[in-house]
Structure 1
Amino acid sequence: MSVRAPFIVLATLSLSACVSQPSPPPQIPLGAAFASAALPAGGMTQVRLEQVWWRDFNDPVLSQVIEDALLGNLDITAAAARLQQAAGASRVATSALLPSGSVSASGAAQRQSLDDPLARIASMSPDYERTNDQFGLSAAASWELDVFGRLSAARRAAGANQAAAEADVAGARLSVAAEIANAYVTARELQARARIAATRIRTTDDVLKLVALRYDEGSASRFELDQAQADASASIARLPLIEAARDETYNRIDLLSGRAPGHAAAILGEGAIPEALAFTSEDGPASLLVRRPDIVAAERRLAAADARVTEAVTAYYPRLTIQGLVGFLSSGLSGLVSEDALQTAGSAGLSGRLFDFGAARGGVEAARGRTREAAAGYKATVLRAASEAEDGFSRAARSHLHALALAESEAALARATTTARTAYDLGGLSLKDALDVQRRLLDIEDTAAAARADATRASIGLARVLGGGWSTRDFSQAGGAPCPAATSAAGVSCEG
């Protein structure tokens, strides 16, 4: 053996270790805290974000609708099916690192043709048997030794894909819960606006009757009568569009719940718009790396792509496979399991590329390109998540302040309407002025209902962009991969 041989072996093993080394995810600088989280929220109730965040709204019907949808939604079902596929692929990749074995049994009977020249010669022997039986029983094993880390890299890639699929399931659940919650709030908003529209119809109809009576008595002008008629007709025109939007929202809830239309209206009944909540996050933007399922999925897909680069690089190196066989082969069943019928075999094979016209290099370049694409996708996902979180805090705080201001306006106009009605009845205020105050009140009631719903939807949006209380701790406990490498790089614990 040459003196240089040990050094060649050591260099090869060192290269193998380098080839199988996973690359860390890209570093993305994030702020220490959410700037918009410090915005005044007008006394909005603050709640720590948990996985079942929708229960904090203290609306049993909302909780029922969301939890029913989590069981029946078809997007979640499809995501779970993709997880099942990824888990199966991961198991296949893991099994490739271990020896594979097979057992076989056979029995055959052959009657030889005497027209065969060899059989014609053999038939001249007195011991010649034209009919032959043969029975066999054997076990074989094969094992590819993972010298250069190809199989380990494939297993890492499959495991990372499984982890990404599991995060996708969590992401689908979060999205469905948020979409159902938004639809529920919209349904309650439209119910409130339909009630306001119905009140507007009754009010304008009463005014029309009163003006018509005064017109008949000669104390009201034709102009006043026409104006009252126009207001009554306009009020009637509002309601059908609101009811159509409400029915569409009911159907949306049924669709998200994985059932045919026609159930949501009975399940929801009538109810109030849930109050807005200020969901809090004790950690800064770096916590999104472990709390947003889409970020975890993107990081795991990046890890899978990186492992595929390693797998592609190993195409340059040979593969070592060992095989073994033990069994029995006999012309009769009675002597099948005997020392004379025993047969064994063993082999070791080394195979590698002689030339491939650049196929291996092309595979490596393609894998590296996919890794760069995954890295760009990961960065974009992180930055988008940070931006969405800032937007979520801002919108939640400012929407609540907007709703508070409109509520104060609504209360003031309600008082003004009472005063105007009294003044009109006493003759101290014209009908036009009294109707203007009434119209403004109904308009502000409608706008305030929409603002309350917007504030609650902003709370739901904040829960969604903060990850819905999900974390990689739950991910690991559910059988996923360990904490993504990006979490330690950002100084964030998976247990957070």
Structure 2
Amino acid sequence: MRRTTLSLTLTAALTLGGCDFAPHYVRPALPVPPTLPAASPDPSAVDPADVAWRDFFTEPRLQKLIELALANNRDLRIAVANVAQSRAQFGERKAELFPTISASGSATFEKQSRGQLATQGVPTSGVSTPRRIDIYQGSIGISSWEIDLFGRLRNQSKEAFETYLASEEARNAAQVLLISEVATAYLTLGADQAGLAVATATVTSNRTMLDLARTRLKVGTASELDVRQAQTSYESALADSARRKTLVAQDLNALQLLVGAAPPAELLPNGLPENGATIPHLPVALPSMVLLRRPDIAEAEHKLRAANADIGAARAAFFPTISLTAALGTLSPALSGLFGSGNGNWSVEPQATLPIFDFGKNAANLRYSKASRDVAIAQYEKAIQTGFKEVADALAQRATIGDQLAAQTGLQEAAAASLRLSDLRYRTGVDPFLTVLDAQRTLYSAQQTLVTTRLTEQSNMVELYRSLGGGLR
């Protein structure tokens, strides 16, 4: 009967917690247009977040570099450790919902002399030796378990759970960012290598023109001014070549930091990939709702849910806190009889605490929780607006980059033809040497701009991958 009473008490306590003062969560409306720019809803389109990065990045060397970065990058390791921390904190909060059951055992041995017995009023007649008293005790019980009648602990657990989910999304965002940064660093290194190759070729070409000008000066068909102009172009090309060598070295350092180790030489680019490093395009005919799958936006929403749960915990603080201490045990003067019949005992001690005067502490905590929720809403909406802008910018660039690349290619071809004609006319004495120098500068500028435009085109696909959420598989 005693054990049945204790079981009923515990069962009732476990089923009482039903109140929840957290506001009903409603996802805020998207503060952006319903569709992405220059796109219309298309249910058959593939969500970019479902395009695995291994399928998106098609350049084999880049794929291996990304794998190295995912294994070694320290920022990503920090993000993973943060997830582990949040998971552990959630486990701690969740455990508070349940009673802590502990068992204990003790033994007391006491020997009393005739004098002690007399002092205690125990008759000592016939007692010739000290009396020994042995007491063995064992118990199992619950200590100060808070019965979550008003949802305070449940909302704290929910807040910890949403924080844990937010940390997972932060890790996902860190991975998407890392992948895009490695790809961008790889392409930038390739572009600077291509730019260095153009500068090196220009140094050689200008050196040839300088030698030609000096030769013509010796035979009297050129002036000292021609030589100085050719030398100016040559020295300028040397300086730009040295600057581009620095850029290549710095690009390599940046790539090494992202990868987390020195990248093997066989995985380094050799100029920009001719066919690009990614798939040709991403499906963008999608509604703005796809932005909700961006890890940073999902992280912001989990933080908003956590703030919503905090309000419930703050409201529950106005109501009584009910805790329960219970124990079921046995007591015997002999160890062999400890679990015998008639030695059992039990106790149940419920306790309620109601805040009366806290000088506004709970009210201030509730106001703080509501203000934190408002901040989380604004941050969530800002994350969506930022994501929309990033996608819109990438799409705007994508819409015109093809025309830019075609025009820049045509400009380079025209500049190369102009240089050939100018050189021929100079050698035949039709045009002055300054015309050749102008043609050289125009061609060099067109070549370097073409490299930059190709980098922009390929980097634009990487930005679309990142801004649309990126595939994590």
Tell me whether 1:279 sits opposite 2:278 in the alignment. no
CA 1:233–1:29: 2 relative to 1, 3 Å? closer
Distance 1:264 1:428 in 2: 53
CA 1:202–1:132: 2 relative to 1, 3 Å? farther
- Partner AA of 1:139 in structure 2: I
Distance 2:309 2:468 in 1: 29
Count of matched residue pairs: 447
- Partner AA of 2:153 in structure 1: L
CA 1:134–1:212: 2 relative to 1, 3 Å? farther
- 1:374-421 per-residue CA deviation (whole Å, 9 max, x = no partner) reads 111112111221122211211233334322211121122223333444
The SS at the match of 1:23 is: coil
Counterpart in 2 of 1:78? 78
CA 1:47–1:296: 2 relative to 1, 3 Å? closer
Deviates more, 1:186-195 or 1:243-252: 243-252
What runs of 5+ residues in structure 2 fail to find an aligned partner? 1-14, 41-45
- 1:193-225 per-residue CA deviation (whole Å, 9 max, x = no partner) reads 110111011111111111111212222111111
Distance 1:177 1:88 in 2: 28
Report deviation, 1:20.
3.8
Q: Please point out which of 211, 218, 238 is paired with 1:236.
A: 238
Counterpart in 1 of 2:6? none
The SS at the match of 2:356 is: coil
Distance 2:254 2:118 in 1: 80
Distance 1:312 1:47 in 2: 39
Counterpart in 2 of 1:135? 136
CA 1:134–1:240: 2 relative to 1, 3 Å? farther
Report deviation, 1:297.
0.8
Counterpart in 2 of 1:311? 313
The SS at the match of 2:336 is: coil
Counterpart in 2 of 1:368? 370
- Partner AA of 2:291 in structure 1: L
- Partner AA of 2:186 in structure 1: Y
Counterpart in 2 of 1:96? 96
Report deviation, 1:119.
7.8
Counterpart in 1 of 2:214? 212
Counterpart in 2 of 1:107? 107
CA 1:110–1:187: 2 relative to 1, 3 Å? farther
Counterpart in 1 of 2:172? 170
CA 1:221–1:314: 2 relative to 1, 3 Å? same
The SS at the match of 1:28 is: coil
Distance 1:191 1:358 in 2: 66
Distance 1:170 1:119 in 2: 78
CA 1:57–1:438: 2 relative to 1, 3 Å? farther
CA 1:23–1:170: 2 relative to 1, 3 Å? same
- Partner AA of 2:142 in structure 1: A
- 1:276-322 per-residue CA deviation (whole Å, 9 max, x = no partner) reads 74422232212212x21111111111110110110010011113333
CA 1:73–1:51: 2 relative to 1, 3 Å? farther
Distance 1:197 1:380 in 2: 44
CA 1:433–1:119: 2 relative to 1, 3 Å? farther
Report deviation, 1:247.
1.1
Distance 1:22 1:130 in 2: 69
Report deviation, 1:357.
2.1
Distance 1:422 1:47 in 2: 56
Question: Is the Cα–Cα contact under 8 Å of residues 140 and 323 in structure 1 kept in the other structure?
Answer: yes
The SS at the match of 2:347 is: strand
Counterpart in 2 of 1:60? 60
Distance 2:47 2:375 in 1: 38
Report deviation, 1:108.
4.0
Question: Is the Cα–Cα contact under 8 Å of residues 191 and 271 in structure 2 kept in the other structure?
Answer: no
- 1:31-57 per-residue CA deviation (whole Å, 9 max, x = no partner) reads 23222459xxxxxxx996644346434
Tell me whether 1:288 sits opposite 2:291 in the alignment. yes
Distance 2:401 2:117 in 1: 97
Superposed, 1:333-482 pairs within 5 Å as 333-469=335-471
CA 1:163–1:328: 2 relative to 1, 3 Å? same
Deviates more, 1:81-90 or 1:93-102: 93-102
Question: Is the Cα–Cα contact under 8 Å of residues 20 and 312 in structure 2 kept in the other structure?
Answer: no
CA 1:91–1:181: 2 relative to 1, 3 Å? same
Distance 1:47 1:345 in 2: 60
CA 1:464–1:231: 2 relative to 1, 3 Å? same
Question: Is the Cα–Cα contact under 8 Å of residues 23 and 311 in structure 2 kept in the other structure?
Answer: no
Report deviation, 1:346.
2.4
Distance 1:178 1:313 in 2: 44
Question: Is the Cα–Cα contact under 8 Å of residues 109 and 132 in structure 1 kept in the other structure?
Answer: yes
Superposed, 1:113-262 pairs within 5 Å as 120-121=119-120, 125=124, 129=130, 132-141=133-142, 143-259=145-261, 262=262
Distance 1:124 1:404 in 2: 116
CA 1:335–1:18: 2 relative to 1, 3 Å? closer
Identity %: 26
Distance 2:81 2:108 in 1: 45
- Partner AA of 1:136 in structure 2: Q
CA 1:121–1:35: 2 relative to 1, 3 Å? closer
CA 1:305–1:288: 2 relative to 1, 3 Å? same
Deviates more, 1:333-342 or 1:238-247: 333-342
- TM-score normalised by length of structure 2: 0.86
CA 1:232–1:414: 2 relative to 1, 3 Å? same
Counterpart in 1 of 2:5? none
What runs of 5+ residues in structure 1 fail to find an aligned partner? 1-12, 39-45, 475-496
The SS at the match of 1:270 is: coil
Question: Is the Cα–Cα contact under 8 Å of residues 62 and 267 in structure 2 kept in the other structure?
Answer: no
- Partner AA of 1:95 in structure 2: A
- TM-score normalised by length of structure 1: 0.82
- Partner AA of 2:78 in structure 1: A
The SS at the match of 1:134 is: strand
